[in-house]
Structure formats: C-alpha cells, structure tokens
Amino acid sequence: MKPDSDKQALELQLGFAKLAQSSFRVRISVLILLLISLFVVWSTLASGTTAAEKVDKDFCLRIYKDPYYFPYSLGDVSCTEFMYAQTIRQARHQHDNDGPYPETMGTDEISKHVHEFLDHVQEFREYDWNRRQAFRIQLLLPYAKSPVSLDGLLISDAWPFCALLALSVAIAWRFRQTCYEIHLSSLIVNTRPENIRSRNFALTEFLAGDITDVAIDGRHMFIYMQPVGLFPETILGAGLFITVSLFSLNLLTEFGPQFTPRGQELFSDSYYFWLYLFAVVLFFLLLRARKLWRGSLAEVMGGEVSSARLYFLYRVRALLRHRAIAGIRWEDVLIFLCAVLGIASLFLSWADYRGLVLLWNPAQVFDDAPVAARLIQAEMLLTVSFLLVSPISRLRNRVWGERLHALIQKTRSVCARFVLIFSGYVVAYAFVGVYGQFKDWYVWPVFVGPNFNFFQTPQNLPTLGDADFSIGFTVFTVSCGILALLEIWFEARPTAKEKGSEVA
C-alpha cells in the first residue's frame, strides 16, 4: 500500500503546484492587461488634452477683450500659456456674486441685461461642448456602419475605479497562490525520506517553502517562510505590480477629473473621497477573501498560519502584553499615551482656530457649508468618544460590571475601525498631492527638463493647505490613527480552543 500512498501524495502535490502556477499566470495576465489599458488611457487623455488646450487658447482670445467679463483687460498677456486657463476660469465666475438689479432700472434695460447674460451663458456652453469634443474617441466596431463616439472625459472619471478593481483582483490571486503554496509546503515538509522530499520539491518547481510550528502568547501557530532568491515569478510579479501602481499614480496626478472645468464643478475634492471609499470597500472584501482561504489552511494544519516576515509583530505584541512598568502593562501605557495626545491636541491651534471649535461650533469655521459642518462635527464627536472610551475600557471588569464592560469594548472596537478609516483618508488625500508635487517639481524636470505644465499641474492636486499641517491637526490625526491601529492589533486573543490545544 505504501507505493500507492506515495503516488497519491505526489499527485496531490503536483495538483497544488499546478493550481499555484495557474494563479500566477492569471495574476500576471491581469497586470499586463491593466498596464496596456493604462497606456491606452494615457495616450487618449494626452491627445485630448493637447486638443483641449487649443480650444482654451482660441476661446480666451475671443473673450479677453469683452468688457462684460473684464472691465479692465490685462491685454495680450491674458491669453499666454501661463494665463489662459486662469483667464477663462475668472470669466466663468465673474458675475456669480452680482447683486439684484436696482429698482430704478427700467424694464427695457433689465431685458437687455438678461439677454446679454443668456448670450454669454450660451457662449460658455459652446466652449464646454467644444472642449468635450476634443476628448471624443471614435471607435471602429465590427459590423458597425459608422464609428461609435465615446466621451473621453468619462475615461478620466472612471479609470481610477477600474484600476483599483484590477489591482485588487491581482492581489486576491496572489493571496490564493500563497494558500496553494502553503498547502503544497505542508505536504512536502512531512515527506520521508529526505531524498524523496527533495525530488518532490523539484517536481513542484520549487514553489514550496519552509513551515515551522511555534507557540507564542498562548497561541499555537505555523510560520511559513517563502523561498528567498531571484525567482522569475517573484521578479515578474513584483515588477509588474510596482510599474502598474506608479503608472496609475502618475495618471491620477496628471489627468484626474479635477483638471477639467467640468470635473472642478462636479467633483472638486469629493472625487477623492469616493475613490477612497471604493478602495476601503475593496480592502475589506480582500480581507474577507484572505480570511476564508487562510481558514482552509487552519483546518488542515491545525493552527493559524502566518508569514515568517510578520512573525516579529507577534513577538512585539506578546512583549507589550506581558511587560509592565510600575504594574501597568506596556500595552496600556501606549493606549493611554495616544489617547492623552489626541485629547490634548484639541486645545492646540488648528489653522486659525482650535480643534475644540469643531466639537461645539463647527459653523464658525465652515460658515458657507452648514451640511459639511454638521458632518465634521459628528465625525469629531465619534473620534473624541473613541479617545475617551479606549483608555476607559482598560479598567478592570469589576469596576463596570460584565455587561457594561462588554458594551464599552464593543463600542471601542466599532469606533476604532471608523477612526482608522477617517485617518487613512487624510493620509491618502495628502499622499496623492505630495506625490504629484514631488514628481512634477523634482523628478520630471531632471529627466525631461523644465516645462511649464510641471509647475502648473500641482495647482490642481488635492494637497492640504499649509494651515492644515498645523501641529494640532497633525498630532490629532496621527495619534488617533495609531491608537485605532493598536486597538485593532491588540484585539486578537487566543480562543478557548487554541488555549486548550496548547495546554494539551
């Protein structure tokens, strides 16, 4: 029976090897298709931008002498490369805040002003239509009698969401590939004798890694170490992923919706909020998929499987839980320190106001956006509640009682995830702007040379103002984010089943 069992084991190993290789091929295919798509999008938006610039210059030359827009014209300098975009933007909003017609104005004069206003509105509508036509794409489809016209600006709006989805799919295939490799490794590591194990290791194209079992913080775990070396799969996969990520960031900071008048009117900075919210949804779906696949490993191997590169985090967490200062655990010291810093930052200066103002009177800061003021007030109340609940939940159960203590811990857990998402948005929002500025001001000029567009582009990027980087706001955001990360990190506790198996 032994030859039959060895044959079945080898077939099982080869089956997992094929599954891992198939996952790798699909992941590479997704990344290559995404890279090709990004290049097509880049070419389309670049050619559209060039055509749109000609429309802008022609329209600027048409309106800059019109006294309706500019009673005091700046002359020909108004439509130079440095000024035409600003000239058109100023003309579009020149009469936004005009007061009502005076009562002394006659009916005929009012009618004349109304017709003049409508004529100029129509003028801008024609300009917007011409600019959109500059981004039109003519698609030649099979069996179609005439080309199909596609609005290129829709590509500018939609491609970041598609790119995020494709990158998430590639990451999901990487998770699945790793699970197959761990299953394969668990089969090979138990193969005896060693010469047979070496043969099986070679037959599976060296996809398997080393697995060792450890016990840490009352938990029995398996540590998986992936092979380290110049493997073609690793180099190709990582290289494509990095290339696609950088290409996507460059596109977002060059041709995002905020670079068009329509995008400025419709999206403004809210576009990045919806893009970030979409990324958060994908992130939680990826975590769910990873947990599902890793659960199959735990059932087969009899314990949690973790990467050897992350093993130090488990050791650090165990150290913080079991070391104490004056009878207080290091874990609690970190929690209290972050909470105190977050609350103290409310009394520091945030731009030209203190953080506490956002709690009781946000309308004082956002006087022109009452809905946004209430939303920010709700966010601040929830965040401050988390800063208070987090250290309170560290008190012993007998102080509060079992039910109340469980409610406090549940509230802390929910608030921690909200605060982490909120802090992550601030970091991601600032990162896009900082990346775009660094690229346009320091990187591209070195390789391409000075260019006006490199200095013009950062004006449209979602960079926080200098005042928003005040000490109070920075300390509040960083301390809240770190506190939320720590609370989620410290939530992991060994289950009763794991403790029982460890004792046995």
pLDDT digits (tens, 9 = 90+) for 81-106: 667 777 787 787 777 777 777 777 77
Rg of the chain, C-alpha, whole Å: 30
Per-residue pLDDT at 128 exceeds 60: yes
Give the whole-angstrom CA distance, residue 319 versus residue 313: 10
Q: In the predicted model, what is the mean pLDDT of residues 337-345?
A: 92
Q: What is the pTM of this model?
A: 0.79
pLDDT given for residue 266 in this prediction: 47
Question: Quick one: pLDDT at residue 33?
Answer: 94
pLDDT at position 29 is 94
Instruction: Please give the share of the chain, as a percent, with pLDDT higher than 70.
Output: 79
Strand partners, 305: 222
Higher local confidence (pLDDT), 342 or 273? 342
For residue 164 the two structure tokens come to: 């995020």
Give residue 502's pLDDT band: very low, low, confident or very high (50, 70, 90): very low
Q: Which residues contact 429 (CB under 8 A, 6 or more apart)?
A: 269, 272, 276, 462, 464
DSSP letter assigned to residue 64: T
In the chain, where are the structural domains located? 326-503
Distance CA 216, CA 315 (A): 7
Tell whether the model's pLDDT for residue 258 goes beyond 60: no
The pLDDT assigned to 458 comes to 56
Residue type, 369: A
Residue 342's pLDDT is: 92
The confidence band for 243, taking pLDDT boundaries of 50, 70 and 90, is: very high
With 90 as the cut, is the pLDDT of residue 280 above it? yes
Tell me the mean pLDDT in the region 246-256: 83
Confidence class for position 224, pLDDT limits 50, 70, 90? confident
Residue predicted with more confidence, 65 or 484: 484
Q: Is the pLDDT of residue 467 over 60?
A: no
How many other CB atoms are found less than 10 A from the CB of residue 163?
21
Instruction: Please tell me which residue, 230 or 322, carries the higher pLDDT value.
Output: 322
Residue 69's nearest CA partner among 96, 94, 87, 86 is 94
pLDDT at 356: 85
CA dihedral 292, 298, 303, 305 (to 10 degrees): -70
Q: How confident is the model at residue 142 (pLDDT cuts 50, 70, 90)?
A: low
Q: How many residues does the chain have?
A: 504
| Helix, strand, or coil (residue 224) | strand
- Percent of the chain at pLDDT above 90? 15
pLDDT, greater one: 271 or 4: 271
More confident residue, 112 or 243: 243
Distances (CA, A) of 456 to 47, 70, 78, 116, 262: 18, 23, 16, 33, 18
Task: Quickly state the pLDDT bin for 2 (edges 50, 70, 90).
Answer: low
pLDDT above 50: residue 494: no
Q: How confident is the model at residue 186, as a pLDDT?
A: 79
pLDDT band at 172 (very low <50, low <70, confident <90, very high): very high
Side-chain half-sphere CA neighbours of 346 within 13 A: 16
Higher pLDDT, 193 or 418: 418
pLDDT, the chain, mean: 78
What integer is the mean pLDDT of 411-430? 88
Which of 71-85, 103-117, 449-463 shows the lowest mean pLDDT across its residues?
449-463
Report in angstroms the alpha-carbon separations of 134 from 53, 60, 130, 347: 9, 16, 7, 51
- Give the angle subtended at the CA of 105 by the CAs of 104 and 108, to the nearest 5°: 145
Position 3 scores a pLDDT of: 59
pLDDT at 337: 93
Cβ atoms 374, 367 nearer than 8 A: no
The Cα–Cα gap between 394 and 433 comes to 38
Helix residue ranges per DSSP H, 302-327: 311-322
What pLDDT is recorded for position 30?
94
All residues at 6 or more sequence positions from 316 whose CB lies less than 8 Å from its CB, including other chains: none
* Distance separating alpha carbons of residues 418 and 485, to the nearest angstrom: 11
The tokens of 386 are what?
Answer: 């988390």
